[in-house]
Structure 1
Amino acid sequence: MKDPFTEFRNLVTLVEGRVQQIAKEHDVEHLGGPQGFVVMYLYKHSGEEVFIKDIEKKLKISKSVTSNLIRRMEKNNFIKVIPSQKDKRYKQLVLTSLGSQKAVKLADFHRTIHDKVLKDIDLTELKTAKKVIRKIRENLEIEE
């Protein structure tokens, strides 16, 4: 058996390459990070008021980083910032038409990745993999 670190590095490289390829095929190649999270969060919470502070908390990022993210997403025409319907002092985030289209594509992309990654893996194997991944993460967490 190869060194487990080599196996892990090769797996990560393969996953990254395939994810990028499939993302491009689904027209969501630039939505893998925080912008994609925000698009999907707003899509899943459509009909609810979502505020900048909600995104800040969910992503566990600072106010300034969140502000930059929101500005970038407005510039990319994925979201609009509008006054709250309930309290005009607050700004709510809503998907634009483009943002909604990207959310549908992202959902399809996630299904495709999920199906490809988990193909022919049974529940027992999946539980074992999750257990090993959790142990590796615990081993790598910084001790205080």
Structure 2
Amino acid sequence: MIGKHSEVGFELRELMILLSRVIDQEAAARNVDKLKGPQAWALGFIKKNDHRAIYQKDIEEELSIRKPTASRLIDRMEKNGFVKRIPSIEDKRLNQIVLTKKAEKNMNQIDDLVQTVEGRLKNGLTEEEVQTYLKITRRIKKNLENN
């Protein structure tokens, strides 16, 4: 063992805890009520894809989360007033996830939050280091998905 912890899983866990704290702090600083980390990414995804209908399955795939997790995420975003579910025109069994006026009003702060967090994550890293990190992280994800 080198250093305090040399287990990849432990370091990833610590990184996620720190990232959640930073996102919470940045959301509070921007007065974006009740916005938690995954919500910011989900809202950004919905906004970027406002040219097409977004459903829960799309959020599951984009955030690499399971159906129950996505359902709870959307429930929280709906409770917090960021999204609403409307019945799909094509398939009445599905609900389209759309941004509310509150979310639209807060999108500049949410976009700024995401950019600030990304900036903090990449601070002091070269583009090559960022690409190496992404390559390694994707390989680790693939390892976990295949087993």
TM-score band, normalised by the shorter chain? Answer: 0.5 to 0.7
User: Among residues 28, 37, 41, which one is paired with 2:41 in the alignment?
Assistant: 37
Q: Does structure 2 conserve the Cα–Cα contact (< 8 Å) formed by 1:80 and 1:96?
A: yes
Identity over aligned pairs, percent: 25
| Structure exhibiting the larger radius of gyration computed from Cα positions | 1
Unaligned runs of 5+ in 2: none
Q: CA deviation at 1:83?
A: 2.6
Post-superposition offset of 1:127: 4.7
Distance verdict in 2 for CA 1:26–1:57, change over 3 Å: same
Alpha carbon RMSD of aligned pairs, Å?
3.6
Quick one: distance in 2 between partners of 1:123 and 1:24? 29
1:134–1:42 Cα change, 3 Å:
closer
Give the match for residue 22 of structure 1: 26
Counterpart in the other structure of 1:3? 3
Specify the SS of the correspondent of 2:97: strand
Aligned pair count reads: 136
SS at match of 1:5: coil
- Structure 2: distance between partners of 1:51 and 1:135: 25
| TM-score of the pair, normalised by structure 2 | 0.64
1:4–1:125 CA distance, 2 compared to 1 (3 A): farther
CA contact (8 A) 1:73 1:79 kept: yes
Which amino acid counterpart does residue 117 of structure 2 have in structure 1?
I
1:27-66 alignment runs, 5 A limit: 27-28=31-32, 30-33=35-38, 35-58=39-62, 59-62=64-67, 64-66=68-70
TM-score by length of 1: 0.65
Q: Distance in 1 between matches of 2:137 and 2:60?
A: 26
Post-superposition Cα deviations, 1:93-124, rounded to whole Å, max 9, x if no partner, equal: 11001122333222111211222333343334
Bigger relative contact order, structure 1 or 2 (CA pairs below 8 A, ≥6 apart): 1
SS, match of residue 121 in structure 2: helix
Read off the aligned partner of 2:37 and give its amino acid letter.
G
Q: Distance in 2 between matches of 1:87 and 1:143?
A: 34
Rate the CA distance shift 1:123–1:69 in 2: closer, same or farther, 3 A: closer
| Cα distance change, pair 5–65 in 1 and its aligned pair in 2 (3 A) | closer
Partners of 2:113 and 2:50 in 1: how far apart?
A: 20
Q: Which of 105, 108, 116 matches 1:104?
A: 108
